[in-house]
């Protein structure tokens, strides 16, 4: 049914629910689940044009990346225990745009993600990632609402 499942995780309370939803979708099919966590560009410690050999010490970014790795790792472990073929990655950028770009890149047949209940003020300040993904997605989007 869904050959390529893009699973967006962020470590929130909904993470276990979206992982379980992806497991249910993939079970019994030859699906590949791409467990994906998005981090903001300001927390990315990638090739940033610094002088070769220069070490950039930015503890908040290191913590963000370590958290993302742990969240992806835990989801991969859960899926592997269920016999689901899964791969993990961390993407960088605006979450909505980056997830849609990743779905295009992976030729996803569905995106599975959570939805946070932001206040009206929160939606004005941050915007809704799930709404942005739904509006721009090249494939169906399943939004998990349990765990809010």
User: Residue 58 to residues 37, 63, 65, 66, 139: CA-CA distances in angstroms?
Assistant: 20, 9, 11, 12, 37
pLDDT (0 to 100) of residue 68? 92
Does 119 or 135 have the greater pLDDT score? 135
pLDDT (0 to 100) of residue 142? 95
- pLDDT tier, 100 (very low <50, low <70, confident <90, very high otherwise): very high
User: Looking at the DSSP assignment, which residues form a beta bridge with residue 31?
Assistant: none
Does 127 or 86 have the greater pLDDT score? 86
Domains of the chain are: 4-116 (3.40.50.620)
Nearest to 90 by CA among 131, 31, 40: 40
User: Residue 71 to residues 17, 42, 143: CA-CA distances in angstroms?
Assistant: 13, 19, 18
Is the pLDDT confidence value at 146 over 80? no
Rounded mean pLDDT of 122-147? 82
pLDDT (0 to 100) of residue 78? 97
In DSSP notation, 70-89 reads HHHHHHHHHHHHTT-EEEEE
pLDDT (0 to 100) of residue 65? 86
Query: What's the pTM?
Result: 0.85
- Taking only the tens place, the pLDDT of each residue in 17-41 is 999 999 999 998 899 999 999 998 8
Contact 126, 20 (CB under 8 A): no
Is the pLDDT confidence value at 118 over 70? no
């Amino acid at each position: 049914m869904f050959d390529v499942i893009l699973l967006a995780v962020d470590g929130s309370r909904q993470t276990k629910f979206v992982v379980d939803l992806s497991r249910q979708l993939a079970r019994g099919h030859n699906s590949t689940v791409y467990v994906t966590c998005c981090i903001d560009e300001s927390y990315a410690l990638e090739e940033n044009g610094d002088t070769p050999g220069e070490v950039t010490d930015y503890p908040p970014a290191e913590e963000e990346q370590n958290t993302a790795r742990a969240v992806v790792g835990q989801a991969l472990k859960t899926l592997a225990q269920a016999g689901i073929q899964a791969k993990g990655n961390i993407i960088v950028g605006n979450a909505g745009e980056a997830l849609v770009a990743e779905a295009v890149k992976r030729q996803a047949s569905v995106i599975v993600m959570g939805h946070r209940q932001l206040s009206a003020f929160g939606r004005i300040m941050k915007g809704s990632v799930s709404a942005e993904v739904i509006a721009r997605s090249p494939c169906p989007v399943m939004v998990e609402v349990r765990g809010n």
